[in-house]
Structure 1
Amino acid sequence: MTIRTFSSREFTRDVSAAKRAAIEGPVFITDRGKPRFVLLTIENYFAQSGAQEPSFLEMMDSIDGGGDDIDFEVPRLSMTLRPVHLEDGEI
């Protein structure tokens, strides 16, 4: 596991480089020379914290209001049924 350090200025200039570095291990972000933040991949976060990755429903429920203000109507499926004629021996 590789640990990289970015200053706040370096992090601001190249967030993509910090994200790529986080794939290899934790990235410390310093503020005035002192470590203040740590950037981890979500997989590393869950592995290190011992927490379980939330399900999609748990994530949606964690949104303020639980998504109650989202308008969603399930579309009806319209199908025309027609008889099927099978010849002898066909399934």
Structure 2
Amino acid sequence: METTVKITTISSRELNRDIGRAKKAAKAGPVVIIDHGRPCFVLITYDEFERLSGKHRNLVIALAMPGISAIDVDANRMEIGPREVDLS
């Protein structure tokens, strides 16, 4: 299952005139802010920032990530048993 992300591009002038539009667009995906003809910033939601920065990540969230099922893991089973202890 592939997830598509909508990327919006706006100029810094448009951002200054209508920050609300940029914030609304960021809910659907990253907003690339263009200044002097070049990409200079990306506006994302705080939830997306946390996801990308690894904050509050747990095993359930990691296993739910898109594409995780495509990763082939070859894990060897380990046998762990009691061992002798030298108490001398």
Check if 1:31 corresponds to 2:48. Answer: no
Q: Tell me by how many angstroms 1:52 deviates.
A: 3.0
Aligned-pair RMSD on alpha carbons? 1.4
Q: Which of the residues 33, 44, 62 maps onto 2:48?
A: 44
Residue 6 of structure 2 is matched in structure 1 by 2
Amino acid at match of 1:14: D
State the identity as a percent. 47
Amino acid at match of 2:38: K
Q: Which of the residues 11, 14, 21 maps onto 1:17?
A: 21
RCO (CA 8 Å, sep 6+): is it higher in 1 or 2? 2
TM-score (norm 1): 0.55
Between structure 1 and structure 2, the one with the greater Rg is: 1
Q: Tell me by how many angstroms 1:5 deviates.
A: 0.6
Count of residues in Structure 1 that have an aligned counterpart in Structure 2: 53
Q: Tell me by how many angstroms 1:51 deviates.
A: 2.1
Structure 1 residue ranges, 4+ long, deviating more than 3 angstroms after superposition = none
Structure 2 unaligned blocks of 5 or more: 58-88
